[in-house]
Amino acid sequence: MKKLNKLLLICFLLLGGILLLQAGTISTSQDFKLTANKTSNNLRGNPDILVTPVKGPSVKTLLVQRAKTSWPWYITRTAGFIAALALFFLILSGVGLISGYTFKILEPLTAWATHKAIGLVFIVSVAIHGIALLFDKYVPFNVAQILFPFLSNYRRVVLFNHNVGSLYVALGILAMYGVLAIGLSTFFWIDKKPHTWKTIHFLAYLIAIFVFFHALYLGTDLMHGIFRTLWIIMGVIMAFAIIYRFRKVRSL
């Protein structure tokens, strides 16, 4: 059981590292340029390719400069990716625990420990995602804007001709408080007040909805392309899982 939790944590960390490297890659084509010089004496008709260095900072210097100025964005981006994946598996494993499907794959103790491990990864990723924003110079956030909804002016939203402020940022903040409530109730009440803990745990489904739209409209990598498509597919799967939980399993 402990080995499974460690393996799961290592997988998430490796994924984060891969995403961080992918986010930090830059083109090295700025250091050189190719100039073609066709000569009339060239019998084969192919251009002579000359490689000449371009004056400016080296690749190493560019990488160091970018790392110093953009590292909060890379950390926020990677933590968001990990949190999104953790939430997806957290919802599915939670519904699986209630419905009993998870026990067809894992033993009860292992299944519960795995669910807790994914939850811990999710909580840590959300915390890193928010804290790293405090150091981002490109999209500045202060402590109040991270702790209180609608204080930020980042990507204000207009719905039905009404300005509702930074709605999608607010959804992320509300989701953060929901995560905090579930985490604290699990730590203090899971044994002493199980009914209260189960009731508070229903916030997980609301958190999933908030996080889905928060990431869909604010995530840099989810604006278009394959990542956006995958995130929508994951959202649909989570929605079906939540609907199944309420329709088939009626007990708290």
The pLDDT value given to residue 245:
87
How far is residue 132 CA from its own chain's centroid?
Answer: 13
- Split at pLDDT 50, 70, 90, the class of 249 is low
Least confident of 64-73, 94-103, 243-252: 64-73
Split into its structural domains, the chain has a count of 1
231 versus 98: which is more confidently predicted? 231
Q: What is the pLDDT of residues 6-52, one digit of tens each?
A: 545 555 555 555 444 444 443 333 333 333 344 344 444 555 555 56
With a cut of 90, say whether residue 209 has pLDDT above it. yes
Residue 238 lies in a domain: yes
Whole domain around residue 158: which residue ranges?
Answer: 71-248
Q: What is the pLDDT of residues 95-153, one digit of tens each?
A: 988 888 888 888 888 889 999 999 999 999 999 999 998 888 777 788 999 999 988 88
pLDDT (average), residues 58-86 = 75
pLDDT (average), residues 186-210 = 90
The pair of three-digit structure tokens given for residue 5, joined into one six-digit string: 């939790």
The pLDDT value given to residue 182:
92
Residue 184 lies in a domain: yes
In whole angstroms, how far apart are CA 126 and each of 145, 172, 176, 207?
16, 9, 7, 12
Question: Can you tell me the distance from the alpha carbon of 178 to that of 206, in angstroms, rounded to the nearest whole number?
Answer: 8
Residue 134 lies in a domain: yes
Mean pLDDT, the chain, integer: 78
The angle at the Cα of 195, spanning 115 to 176, to the nearest 5 degrees, equals 55
Residue 8 lies in a domain: no
Residue 55 lies in a domain: no
Question: Can you tell me the distance from the alpha carbon of 74 to that of 195, in angstroms, rounded to the nearest whole number?
Answer: 40
The whole model's pTM is what? 0.72
Query: Contact at 8 Å (CB) between 46 and 109?
Result: no
